[in-house]
Amino acid sequence: MLLVATAWILLLLVGGGLALDRVLTGAITRNFDDQLDYLVSSLIVSAELGSRGEVVLNRQLADQRFLEPNSGAYWQISGKGYEAFPSMSLWDRRLKSNKVYQDRNIHFYDSDEFVDKRSGANRDDPGNQRLRIAERDLTLPGSPVLWRFQVAETRETLDAQIATVRRTLVRSFALLGLGLVAMAALQTWYGLRPLRKVRREIARLRAGHTKRVAGALPAEVGPMVDELNALVEHNDRQAEEARRHAGNLAHALKTPLSVIMNAAAAGQADLPDTVIREARTMRRQIDHHLARARAVGRRGSAHSRAEVWSSIVAVERAVARLYPNVRIDVDGVKDAVAHIERQDLDEILGNLVENAAKYGGGSVFVTARLEAGYVEILVEDDGMGIPEADRIRIFDRGVRLDTGKPGTGLGLAIVRDVAEIYGGTASLEESEDLGGLLVRLRLPAAG
């Protein structure tokens, strides 16, 4: 930020300085030229024709420098067929005529004709001078000759004035530039001070001295700190969730392992059957917790999208092959998209439809619809249903109301846990059409 500000300040100051230098230099030069124009006009007014048609002055110009040799102020009148009529200050020198201009307007230009090309302009040599010349062509009354009136003055005074202005400009703009850069540095330091405070707070957070970034902060930094605190809280919740599930998994595996170890220690004859039975239990527990872990890992993705109808059709086909005697009907919107990974949607729908086919009376009805920013999936069957008093308890892991059929009681628990991970819900009701159980699954709709 400071380098960009410095570069921009220097660019503006250099551009502004060059523009101002051009304006002031032009003004000083025009003022100098106005004086030369006045002297040319005075020279023309004083000029008249002599007896032989030459030009003479009826009065001398008032400037004493025109009478002193090499004084730096000169005039000359020249015409075709006549010798040049110079001021006494020219002594044995003569001004050259500029052949570029062919009109009768006054013209100004610089000349090095009095400069020794070998040594350049030497201020110690009064005869070695750079000149500023004003000239004008004019025909005097009674004379057919086009006379050229020239007034020249050394540029020493003009160059000195321009040099003074430029020194003043450079010093002023340098001081202004230093002040602006210092102000930009101060502004950058002061403006970034809240970020340094946030950095210190994050260091304290990482060291365990605090649980969130706190303290008064400017409005520009406040939203970033709020998001940072939200991220910290989110990570804390995930860490706590991971610890809780690790504990749950350890507790779930502890009982089957104890059964296997006791059977092995007692030398029971049915040890192989016991190992197989308890291993299946452990596998279902592991599958459950792995499903939760995958869902937790994917829920932060903003690109999680699943086409509900495609998933329903795929699950219906799979369950129909497992239960060929069960009729499964599907209906509803076909363009609904839920904010969930397709693999997780297939898993929870598979659990719901499979449970309906397993515990129902032979008919399953699946409906998909959109409702207030959510995709709602209804899975109904014509079975015995679940008493209202048991509809909350059935979602707990390992709870089974029908122990006559194989299972571990983890299906509905997985459905509820995965749905909640994605911000959805799962609830149990009574089916009005089929008379059995209705499972209402709600998932956020993907925009």
Residues forming beta bridges with residue 134, ordered by sequence position: 108, 151
Domain locations in the chain as residue ranges: 2-176, 222-298, 306-444
- Note the pTM of the prediction, 2 decimals: 0.51
**Separation of alpha carbons 336 and 67, rounded Å:** 105
Average pLDDT on 1-20 reads: 92
Q: In what order do the strands lie in the sheet with 327-332?
A: 327-332, 363-371, 374-381, 437-444, 425-430
Kindly tell me if the per-residue pLDDT of 404 is higher than 50.
no
Average pLDDT on 325-329 reads: 93
Which residue, 399, 391, 378, is CA-closest to 428? 391
Q: Tell me what the pLDDT averaged over the chain comes to.
A: 84
Residue 135 Cα distances to 44, 55, 77, 153, angstroms? 11, 16, 10, 12
Residue 254 Cα distances to 242, 278, 292, 317, angstroms? 18, 11, 19, 37
Centroid of chain to Cα 57: 77
Q: Give residue 390's pLDDT.
A: 75
The torsion angles phi and psi of 384, rounded to 5 degrees, stand at -80, -15
Residues forming beta bridges with residue 370, ordered by sequence position: 375
371-385 b/e (C-beta count within 10 Å ≥ 16 → b): eeebbbbbbbbbbeb
366 φ/ψ sector (left φ>0, alpha ψ -120 to 50, else beta): beta
Q: Give residue 387's pLDDT.
A: 81
Write down the residue that tokens 């005039």 correspond to: 75
**Separation of alpha carbons 235 and 216, rounded Å:** 24
CB-hemisphere CA count at 13 Å for 354? 20
Q: Give residue 393's pLDDT.
A: 66
Kindly tell me if the per-residue pLDDT of 206 is higher than 90.
no
Q: Give residue 440's pLDDT.
A: 92
Looking at the domain that runs over 2-176, which CATH code has it been given? Answer: 3.30.450
> Do the bridges between strand 425-430 and strand 363-371 make them parallel or antiparallel, or are there none, so unpaired?
unpaired
Indicate the pLDDT class of residue 228, thresholds 50, 70 and 90: confident
Kindly tell me if the per-residue pLDDT of 403 is higher than 50.
no
Average pLDDT on 95-107 reads: 79
Average pLDDT on 390-406 reads: 53
Looking at the domain that runs over 306-444, which CATH code has it been given? Answer: 3.30.565.10
The mean-pLDDT minimum among 74-83, 261-270, 291-300 falls in 291-300
Kindly tell me if the per-residue pLDDT of 146 is higher than 70.
yes
Question: Under 8 Å CB-to-CB from 180, ≥6 apart: which residues?
Answer: 9, 13
**Separation of alpha carbons 164 and 21, rounded Å:** 11
Question: Using one digit for the tens of pLDDT, what is the confidence trace for 339-397?
Answer: 988 888 998 899 899 989 988 889 999 999 998 889 999 999 998 888 877 777 666 54
Contacts of range 44-53, beta carbons closer than 8 Å, 24 or more positions apart: 44/136, 44/138, 44/149, 47/77, 47/140, 47/147, 47/149, 48/140, 49/140, 49/142, 49/143, 53/82, 53/143, 53/145
Kindly tell me if the per-residue pLDDT of 291 is higher than 70.
no
Kindly tell me if the per-residue pLDDT of 338 is higher than 90.
yes
